[in-house]
Amino acid sequence: MAALLPDSLQTAPPAAANFPAVINLASGYGNFATPAVAAERAIAAIQADRLLQGPVEGLLALREAIGVNFHRQNAPRSRPSIL
């Protein structure tokens, strides 16, 4: 099998699993507990029907937050240009 692999793969560094600081996302989720605040906010979003299809232009609160961020970076944008 090794003969079929390019040299760069035959000499690959050890797998990320050997490093304790690496978060394994191979199974689709991390190997750590969900923070309580994240779970609470997810539940609140579900209960408020915030996960339904949003408007094409995006949620107004998010667009306004993006505008504030652009302004902080000295790159002001008008609301209609933020989609």
Mean pLDDT by 10 residues, the chain (83 residues): 62 66 67 88 87 80 88 81 76
Query: Total domain count for the chain?
Result: 1
How big is the CA angle at 54 (ends 50 and 59), to the nearest 5 degrees?
85
Residue 78 lies in a domain: yes
Q: 79 — phi, psi (to 5°)?
A: -55, -45
Residue 39 lies in a domain: no
pTM beyond cutoff 0.75:
no
Residue 64 lies in a domain: yes
State which residues form the domain around 62.
Answer: 55-83
Residue 7 lies in a domain: no
Residue 24 lies in a domain: no
Cβ-based neighbours of 33, under 8 Å, separated by 6 or more: none
